[in-house]
Amino acid sequence: MTSYSLSKRAENLSPFHVMDILAQANALTRQGKTIYHMEVGEPDFPTTECIIDAGIEALKQFKTHYTAALGLPELRHAIAEYYDRRFSVRIDPQRIIVTPGASGAIQLIISCLLDAGENILLPDPGYPCNRNIAQVLAVESMAIPVNAESYYQLNVELVENFWNENTRAAMVATPSNPTGTLLPRQQLKELCQLMRHRNGRLIVDEIYQGLVYDDHDYTALQVSDECFVINSFSKYFGMTGWRIGWMVVPENYVDAIDRIAQNIFLAPPTLSQYAALAALKESTQQVLDERRDIFKQRRDFILPALEQLGFEIAARPQGAFYIYANCERFTDDTFTWVKRLLNEQGVALTPGIDFGTHQADKHCRFAYTLSLESLEQAVDRIDAFINSNKNY
């Protein structure tokens, strides 16, 4: 037998605990049980037909070769036009880099900005892959506990408290995963000023842009052209499986990112780039905005429904499709609790532990990626679960 030997980075990489939940949910489905999937972080809608048609057309025209590592020039132009149309902000297409999903952008940007041993500041709770990608690249991440007072976002005070001589960057997401909260524009402005003062870089993940319900949507590019903005066709555009995203960076970083992208990815997927061109059309935006309105209706139903059951939602989720709820009234171990909820009532949630360590055992994330009717049924089942476990 060949010997088995792993790198430390592979050995130390954390699993997604929600995968345990998903495996358990799939086993229950095989037994014929109805499962309410509120653990999955992707829209339940399939990709819009006109985007699929554009992908099929590209294949028929044999668009099957590599493109430039930075992406198709016409797509980079179309993304620039999109910013102009939606946010009245002019971006030079040369600053736009097409990537294999936001995931590809995160790898590129961390590789580009930080050396091994340097550190990046991240909010806790936050999107877990950021710290894991940093770890794979031997970059340290510092998890900053965030609470409802700062909308579960970083602010100047927090960043100042955690900054040290090895800190090079901070990363935020607006709307955030798992909390659905926005980074207020003023808070972002102050962070940009602080970064300039500290000679650090601010990375703003806008992957849930377009899925904003109460407030006006904005882009960090309206505030500053010094930040590194990540985006994706996965969520608002409903293209998770196409693996296509982009980022906008200050001009003098494009060349370095081009070199890294050439080596790591060669190019983003060609088929998906042609499909993405259709996604950016004004006519497609109408369909996507209708879907956004459906997400809003769902949020408006499930938020008060969960509060009525006794979950505490400390900061109003204004975007994405997530609610991050404090479950303290019911448990101090949400990982075990969500497993039991799934087993007993067929509702799958993501435990807080997947998003960090700060009060993680008291929280879980609900994804409202189900029809209103199914959400109503899921709420009834959660209610039944709580009532049958009234030993809290």
Ligand X SMILES: Cc1ncc(COP(=O)(O)O)c(C=O)c1O
Shortest Cβ 130–ligand X spacing (Å): 7
Shortest Cβ 30–ligand X spacing (Å): 26
Q: Take residue 152 and report the two structure tokens written for it.
A: 């579960």
**Judged by CB under 6 A, does residue 175 bind ligand X?**
no
**Judged by CB under 6 A, does residue 245 bind ligand X?**
yes
21, 170, 207, 211: which one binds ligand X (CB under 6 A): 207
Residues in contact with ligand X, shown as a per-residue x/- string from 65 to 84 under the rule CB under 6 A:
--------------------
* Cβ burial, residue 26 (10 Å; 0-12/13-18/19+): exposed
**Judged by CB under 6 A, does residue 209 bind ligand X?**
no
40, 102, 221, 327: which one binds ligand X (CB under 6 A): 102
Residues in contact with ligand X, shown as a per-residue x/- string from 126 to 145 under the rule CB under 6 A:
-x------------------
Shortest Cβ 31–ligand X spacing (Å): 29
**Judged by CB under 6 A, does residue 238 bind ligand X?**
no
**Judged by CB under 6 A, does residue 146 bind ligand X?**
no
**Judged by CB under 6 A, does residue 177 bind ligand X?**
yes
206 Cβ partners below 8 Å, 6+ apart? 173, 174, 219, 220, 229, 230, 231
- Of 177 and 285, CB closest to ligand X: 177
**Judged by CB under 6 A, does residue 206 bind ligand X?**
no
CB 16 within 8 A of CB 334: no
Q: How far is CA 54 from CA 63, 290, 335, in A?
A: 11, 20, 42
**Judged by CB under 6 A, does residue 103 bind ligand X?**
yes
Residue 345: closest CA among 81, 69, 35, 86? 35
Q: Take residue 108 and report the two structure tokens written for it.
A: 């590129």
**Judged by CB under 6 A, does residue 98 bind ligand X?**
no
Q: For ligand X, which stretch binds (CB under 6 A), given 19-27, 87-95, 97-105, 336-344?
A: 97-105
Residues in contact with ligand X, shown as a per-residue x/- string from 108 to 127 under the rule CB under 6 A:
-------------------x
How would you classify the pairing of strands 245-248 and 96-99? Answer: antiparallel
Residue 268: closest CA among 121, 39, 111, 73? 73
- Of 303 and 367, CB closest to ligand X: 367
24, 135, 147, 240: which one binds ligand X (CB under 6 A): 240
**Judged by CB under 6 A, does residue 41 bind ligand X?**
yes
DSSP code, position 281: S
- DSSP per residue over 40-109, as a string? --S-SSPPPHHHHHHHHHHHHTT--S---TT--HHHHHHHHHHHHHHH-----GGGEEEESHHHHHHHHH
Q: Take residue 183 and report the two structure tokens written for it.
A: 């980074």
- Of 130 and 187, CB closest to ligand X: 130
Nearest-angstrom CA–CA distance, 113 and 168? 7
How would you classify the pairing of strands 119-124 and 36-37? Answer: unpaired
- Amino acid identity of residue 103, one-letter, is S
CB 238 within 8 A of CB 47: yes
Shortest Cβ 171–ligand X spacing (Å): 10
**Judged by CB under 6 A, does residue 302 bind ligand X?**
no
Nearest-angstrom CA–CA distance, 230 and 96? 10
- Runs of H (alpha helix) within 150-281: 156-162, 185-198, 254-264, 270-279
Q: For ligand X, which stretch binds (CB under 6 A), given 48-56, 100-108, 158-166, 273-281?
A: 100-108
**Judged by CB under 6 A, does residue 101 bind ligand X?**
yes
- Of 238 and 245, CB closest to ligand X: 245
- Of 288 and 386, CB closest to ligand X: 288
**Judged by CB under 6 A, does residue 232 bind ligand X?**
yes
Binding-site ranges for ligand X (CB under 6 A)? 41, 101-103, 127, 173, 177, 205, 207, 232, 234, 240, 245
